[in-house]
Amino acid sequence: MADAGKSIADQIKEQGEIVRKLKAEKAGIDKITEEVSKLLALKAQQGTDKDEKAGGKFVLKTAKGTRDFNPRQMVIRQQAFDKIIACFKRHGAETLDTPVFELKEVLTGKYGEDSKLIYDLADQGGELLSLRYDLTVPFARFLAMNKVGSIKRYQLGKVYRRDNPAMTKGRFREFFQCDFDIAGPTDPMIPDVECVRVVTEILDSLDLSEHVVKINHRKILDGLFEACGVPETQFRAICSSVDKLDKSPWEDVRREMTDEKGLDPEKADQIGQYVLRSGQDDLVEQLLADTKLCSSKSAVEGLEALKLFFRYAELYSVKKRVKFDMSLARGLDYYTGIIYEAVLTNQNPEEGVGSIAGGGRYDNLVALFDPKAKAVPCVGVSIGIERILAILENREVNLKMRTVETQVYVAAAQKNLLEDRMKICTELWDIGIKTEMSYKANPKLLGQLQTCEEQGIPWAIIIGQSELEKGVVKLRHVVSRHEEEIERTKLADVLKEKLSAPVF
């Protein structure tokens, strides 16, 4: 960052020159992004300073990369969560929860180059803490700490990343993840295929059927790097570069490998001959016949694993949804086997939200937390719910939607009936009927009925002095406006019957 002794305007000017110079020199994407972030931070600081000088006015807003959710948006979110949880339960998963912050040491060194996106917290009396970056590492810590050797779990929770947000595409700094993981010893590829099945079921239930699940295997990537002569010490760094192929052209990725990470250009070109290929089990067979690639034992093991995966995928009716993509790398350090990522196939690349689910096998992560380095094999998937919700919100922007679940509204046709309305509400609440009334002592009938129509409340009970004296109430079907008199003593039974009837 520029010298803190200079004015903000001077610092912005100086930082802008740094960014322009890096772009002119065609520096690496990561370096440019880092310096642009510094420039944006300075501009944000300048805006804050201006606000303070302009009479000390406080700008009321949510923090960058976060958002509020109005009742309509919460209905869409809850419906999506319900479908996701139903799928997790259908596959026999049980749920648990972990704290939103962890000891910094728990998270350090687990995310490769993405570690710089972790939010560190101020020292709270001797413990160095960080907000959780995902749900997977805390889950692994939970397994090791509680000596759990086998579990199928799901978890929904907020995670935090100090990333550059893109709100309209569902990329935030605070966001929900919905994870499904299978931990414990199993035979090869059986749980791995089930995770893909879970993804396809969830996306189909959310009417996102036009999707593909891209898969690869870390052993194939490592074997590829080995066969192309990449030093083992550079495997993870080169893997991180390959992971950017979904957002950057091969030329940019190659430049990063050679110019920033020092890889021999000839070796980079050899890698390019492989990572741009995709297919299904036909590609697996082609690669098993590739003498150069199969000189690596690791590559052969990975290819044989995917061969088995495709056989099981056909049995689970998900093979047509799967694509073997050799450019898929997933930059997180903890993956050890199969990796996968789901993307929509019908989105505009410029407007798309990117991957909407991702995961893989991480057999060694739990051992990092266990005093005896005891491994617990794990495989799992995380649903990118915020990106999915961005799509659902755009799709349903013009649809009329109820934000309350009230079934009955108790209305008064005249004054001085507040206590009678309260008695009816109590009676209906006691038998589990969702009931409301006006909080005014003497509300106007028209206003009460308008509330019913605006909120989509199906039934209204209308009481008046003469009706109460006769021991009856009026029951109004709000949509049709049809009214009928019901004996007061039979009101609860009649309502239960009507509310249980199918709606056409």
What residues contact residue 243 under an 8 Å CB cut-off, 6+ apart?
328, 329, 330, 331
- Pairwise CA distance, residues 337 & 368, whole Å: 17
**Whether the predicted pLDDT of 409 surpasses 90:** yes
More confident residue, 347 or 359: 359
Rounded average pLDDT over 167-189: 90
Residue 1's pLDDT is 44
Of the listed ranges 348-357, 382-391, 444-453, the least confidently predicted one is: 348-357
Neighbouring CB atoms inside 10 A of 277's CB total 13
Residue type, 160: Y
Place of tokens 């929904």: 156
Residue 190's pLDDT is 97
452-464 pLDDT per residue, tens: 999 999 999 999 9
**What one-character DSSP code corresponds to residue 168?**
G
Rounded average pLDDT over 94-123: 89
Phi, psi angle pair for 247, to nearest 5° = -120, -20
- The band of 412, judged by pLDDT with boundaries at 50, 70 and 90, is very high
What residues contact residue 100 under an 8 Å CB cut-off, 6+ apart?
131, 132, 157, 158, 160
Of the listed ranges 18-22, 248-252, 326-330, the least confidently predicted one is: 18-22
**Whether the predicted pLDDT of 348 surpasses 80:** no
81-105 residues labelled b (16+ CB within 10 A) or e (exposed):
eeebbebbeebebeeeeeeebbeee
- Pairwise CA distance, residues 17 & 404, whole Å: 54
Residue 120's pLDDT is 92
pTM given for the model: 0.82
Strand segments (E) across 190-337: 211-217, 278-279, 322-325
The tokens describing 349, both together, are 């690349």
Neighbouring CB atoms inside 10 A of 396's CB total 15
Share of the chain above pLDDT 90, in %: 68
- The band of 2, judged by pLDDT with boundaries at 50, 70 and 90, is very low
268-285 pLDDT per residue, tens: 999 999 999 999 999 999
- Pairwise CA distance, residues 135 & 307, whole Å: 30
Of the listed ranges 253-257, 265-269, 357-361, 399-403, the least confidently predicted one is: 399-403
**Whether the predicted pLDDT of 319 surpasses 90:** yes
